[in-house]
Amino acid sequence: MKKIVLTFMLLLLSVGLSANETDRAKLASDMRTMIAAVELIQKGGFYSKPEMMRKGVEKLKKGLVSLESTDASKYLPESKSNAAKFANKRARMIEMYADDLVASVNENNMDEALEDYVQIVKQCSSCHLRIRPY
């Protein structure tokens, strides 16, 4: 009976750990997608291609869903467990600046759109500096 209980507990532990790894892998994949989206926005700004910038924003916002739905406190060290709230706040700020960027592009105000791009990059950098110091 002890072997059955022990086996069952080990199974539950391994399922829980693999779920955390799955969340982390999904988040890492989405982060790569988001950096590609930010690069697309940048290229669109440099080459004055508003549609490219809109596509970059759309791609970026899809990745934010993963960021907001992942509980980072499950895999961050204890000293950074509150950083999950910080990350969620940054995600909301990125979304706000992304929406503003699209509005600026639609008004053909590329200076404002590029300012919004800079703010998006600042939000990303701020979060990475706090959560990923190395």
Query: Is the pTM here over 0.75, yes or no?
Result: yes
CA distance 64 to 60: 7
Report the pLDDT value the prediction gives residue 10, as an integer from 0 to 100.
45
Task: Give the tens place of pLDDT for each residue, 64-111.
Answer: 887 777 776 666 667 776 777 888 899 999 999 999 999 999 999 999
Annotated domain spans of the chain: 25-131
Q: Is it the case that residue 128 has pLDDT exceeding 60?
A: yes
Q: What is the CA radius of gyration of the chain?
A: 19
And the tokens for 3? Answer: 């072997």
CA distance 71 to 59: 21
Mean pLDDT is highest, among 12-26, 78-92, 105-119, for 105-119
CA distance 31 to 66: 9
Q: In this predicted model, which residue has the larger pLDDT, 121 or 8?
A: 121
Query: What number of helices (H) and strands (E) belong to the chain?
Result: 4, 0
Q: In this predicted model, which residue has the larger pLDDT, 4 or 35?
A: 35
Domain range 25-131, its CATH number among 1.50.10, 1.10.3680, 1.20.120, 3.40.50: 1.20.120
